[in-house]
Amino acid sequence: MKPTCCFLVLLLALAVPALADPQATDPPQVEKKKARKVWTNDDFAPAASMPEEPEPEQAPAAEAPPRPLEVLFAELDSAREELAGWRVTLENYRQAFEAVVERRRNADNDYDRDAYEAAIPPAEEQLIGAEEKVKQLEARVAELEQLTKGKKRPATKAAPRDLNPQQLKEIPQEVVGPGGGPAPARPEAETETPPPPPAP
């Protein structure tokens, strides 16, 4: 066997195992990055199935304490007095409105007729306002009468009386000074000093 043939056989013997090893021929593989998960609405449970947070309970509104009878009767008296005043005002507004309408009807020239025509809307507005106020006060009086129905009006406390001049005359002068005010303080009585003892 020729040396060149031996050399070729040797080369082939060395080359065959290298071809048989797959790692020897493949280029090194680059490590692949893991794909990121993209979240969609399908990945989450529907909102209806999620547990709902309990709503905080609202504290019940505290009821106003009942008003004393003195206050209720005082409000009733005040509302009745105000209602009586507004009824008089309502009647005055009604008469004024009717007078303006009558004057417009009887006006003998266009100038007066136009002037009375312009005065009608304000008079009517006053009349309507007074009617509304009377209705409100009537409802208020009815409400207070319902609250005080069957209850005895408490006794009113007597107001302190002012002293009249006759009563001032009856008070001793020592208590009331000459000007009507309190008596001035009396000076302390001076004690007499004893005479000095005679000289020896």
What is the mean pLDDT of the segment spanning 15-31? 55
pLDDT for 82 beyond 70 = yes
Q: Give dist(CA 64, CA 184) in Å, integer.
A: 54
pLDDT band for position 98 (cuts 50, 70, 90): very high
Residue 176: strand pairing partners: 182
pLDDT for 94 beyond 90 = yes
Task: Map out the domains of the chain as residue ranges.
Answer: 69-148
Over residues 62-74, the pLDDT tens digits come to: 566 777 788 888 8
Higher pLDDT, 68 or 169: 68
pLDDT of residue 66: 74
pLDDT band for position 21 (cuts 50, 70, 90): low
Over residues 118-150, the pLDDT tens digits come to: 999 999 999 999 999 999 999 999 999 998 888
User: Which residue matches tokens 């005040």?
Assistant: 78
pLDDT of residue 118: 93
pLDDT for 88 beyond 70 = yes
In contact, 97 and 123? CB cutoff 8 Å: yes
